[in-house]
Structure 1
Amino acid sequence: MTVDNKPKLTTIATLPEHYFLENIAVRADGSMLVTALNRKELWWVPAPAENATIGAVLVDRLDGLPMSIVEAEPDVFYVSSMAPAALDRFDLRGWTPGAPVNRTRALTFASHAAGLNGSCLLAPGVILIADCAAGLIWRVNLTEDGLAGTAKVWLRHDSMAPGTDPEQAVHLTQTFSIPYPGVNGVRAAEHSDYVYYTGSWEQIFMRVAVDPVTHEPVGEPEVVAKGIHAVDDFCMDENSGVAYITTHIDNTLYRVPLDPSTPATEAVVMVGDPIDHQFLGPSSAAWGRGTGDYGRIAYFTTDGGHTPPNPAGVIKPASVVRAEFRADGVSS
């Protein structure tokens, strides 16, 4: 199902063609952090402004392939990486674009943690990280000073399993590949005791209840929506009871109810039918931090069609795209 009133899209930043922009976090001042997966880089993007004269600025180069970004305390971010599987802490308090950054290796994972992908803050000092190659979600407990952490398996489920067809392996660089991803995006609901996640190989959107005291999963995960091909990462509008889910290689954005018992459970295509060249290779999403932005203004990373298969048949610069919605999920 598609909608007639689609969100208004505006490209606010670009990087060169064949940059795989993976994840995004919006800072309190409206600027953004973006991971460039295949370039092993973390970038800063200024807050959108009509008279902006500064573009994206390189923050740092990492030794692994940077994936997701979590803000664990104000202006302190944790970036997870593959190859090696690690978690780096970036303290941006007092940092200015172009200045050296304060980075600390908080955790190096065991060798079987092969595919760190999406992540979220579950509770103060507690981070969840989806492992799309191992088919599970890790729980990281940070130390009180945030400079280190320990990891254990938080949840493993069949819905998180990666692909089994070697011909569908994902070649992230010329030298590093993973199976077709299993569990991909993961988000903790702020107003209910649920964690939501996507399973790319199973084409599924799931949720699991969480104990509010121990922050451990309770009971079996349940299906929220299924049959969404190439499902990737997402953001949630809990006020409207919906999630906006990207499909990376299908170039689409879906709107899906968060409650599986909701009568209107059909996924709705918001962007991508027909293909929009501003929205090629969408990966992650984050709400703006301004007054009234939540549920209305979201930012998406794209790779410009870098990742095959590419049904658009074109390659565009990688970009950060602003989407403007109405509060009910339909564009203004």
Structure 2
Amino acid sequence: MRAFSFILALLASMSANGTPLSSRTTSPPPTTQIVYQFPNETWLENIAIRQTGQLLVTVLSAPELWQVTLDPKSSQHALNANTNKPLASATLVHRIPDVTGLLGIVEMQQSDVFYVVAGNFSYDTYTSTSGSYSIWKIDMRRPSPHAVASKLTDIPEGVALNGMAALNMSQGLLVVADAGAGVVYTVNVDTGNYSKTIDDPTMKPNSSLAIGINGMKIRDEYLYYTSTAQKLFSRIPIDTTSGTPTGPAEIIATNVFGDDFSLDQAGDAYVAENPWDVVAKVTSGGEVSVVAGNLNSTLVAGATSTAFERTSGDGSVLYVTTSGGIGTPVRIEGGKVVAIYI
């Protein structure tokens, strides 16, 4: 049996105090479709969309980056029809040596050049190996799906690196969350130099769950982030030339058990809530509603990240990655990519 007593204890605590999800409004059920499903016990952790529309997904249960390619002849019809036919194929892009899994991914500078977090994180015990984390460059500009992978830098101070966001494309700066320490590093992808630039109380883990700041996005000189253990969705003003904060953090919404997320054009966040098996919408005013899923459904069981499509221009399709429900009340299945019409 997998050692997920920490999640079960959290869920039991939620039930004892009244399930937070029950107080939320729920949107009408959206049109959804499984795009691609991986084998059992595959934990998909994060997602990035290439300019071609292909999906890159990181795997936490193995140190692998996969490309999911949609079938252009059938995907739109299948989504509209809400069929059960898979819409895509998957190809291994790269396997990074000497680590157990991959986490955050972000596109930087040149189109089709990505950076990923690699490290040792056990999803059996939900523990991280401090000092095992590094940032890798994945150059996808060669004919698909081949890639050139190279290590950018080790971050030996890292406790449990997780989400990433592009800070300044022209200067080659990205930010990476250390969920275990509750801090943010700024990394220069041209030099590999990095420094700790944000250390805020809203980002810290706690005694119940050793995962603090998790998913991150930057919009209009604000760093938006989820803080998993504290169940916060927050933002902090940030200097995009240095990564340092320019003011205090602001809590936008509470009771958001967030992993990674994406922002729409209006500034609303679509947050993957693992292990609540839900995708939630958090408005800029702090209103929280359920977009898809629930604790008794496998639709987005173990939702880990979200990303809007890039090719249509209207962002009407939201892609969600899942852990397969590992450690949640629903039955375990293979991690998958789910398309949701917003």
The bucket for the TM-score relative to the shorter chain is 0.7 to 0.9
Q: 47-56 or 88-97, which moves further after superposition?
A: 47-56
Check 1:5–1:292 CA distance in 2 against 1; reply closer, same or farther (3 A cut).
Answer: farther
Rounded Cα–Cα distance in structure 2 between residues aligned with 1:318 and 1:21: 6
CA distance in 2, matches of 1:276, 1:292: 31
> Match for residue 235 of structure 1?
262
**1:60-85: CA deviation from partner (whole Å, max 9, x where unpaired):** 11132210111112011101122321
Asked if the contact 1:287–1:299 (Cα under 8 Å) also holds between the matched residues in 2, the reply is yes
Paired residues for 1:64-213 under 5 Å: 64=99, 65-72=101-108, 73-83=110-120, 84-97=132-145, 99=146, 101-110=147-156, 112-124=157-169, 125-143=172-190, 148-165=191-208, 168=209, 180-189=210-219, 192-213=220-241
- Tell me the matched-pair count: 292
User: Does the Cα contact within 8 Å between 1:123 and 1:215 map onto a contact in 2?
Assistant: no
User: Is 2:33 the partner of 1:7?
Assistant: no
Tell me the SS of whatever aligns to 1:159: helix
Shift of 1:213: 4.9
- Could you list the per-position Cα deviations for residues 158-183 of structure 1 after superposition, in whole angstroms to 9, with x for gaps in the alignment? 11111324xx5xxxxxxxxxxx3110
Aligned partner of 1:276 among 297, 301, 306: 297
Which structure features the higher share of helix residues? 2
Aligned partner (choices 318, 321, 324) of residue 298 of structure 1 = 318
Matched residue of 1:284: which SS?
A: strand
Contact 2:276 2:294 in 1 (8 A): no
More strand by share: 1
CA contact (8 A) 2:168 2:241 kept: no
Shift of 1:303: 1.4
TM-score, normalisation: structure 2: 0.81
Alpha-carbon distance in structure 2 between the residues aligned to 1:66 and 1:267:
29
With normalisation by structure 1, the TM-score equals 0.83
**What's the offset of the Cα at 1:51?**
4.4
Q: Which residues of structure 1 form unaligned runs of 5+?
A: 169-179, 326-332
State the match for 2:89 in structure 1. 55
C-alpha deviation, 1:6, in angstroms: 3.0
SS in 1 for 2:260: strand
Once the 2 structures are TM-superposed, how far is the Cα of residue 39 of structure 1 from its aligned partner?
1.1
Amino acid at match of 2:139: D
Identity %: 30
Write out aligned runs for 1:216-295 (5 A): 216-228=244-256, 230-237=257-264, 239-258=265-284, 262=285, 265-273=286-294, 275-294=296-315
8 Å contact from structure 1 (residues 2, 273) kept in 2: no
Per-residue deviation, 1:282: 0.6
Structure 2 segments unaligned to the other structure (5+ residues):
1-23, 76-86, 121-131
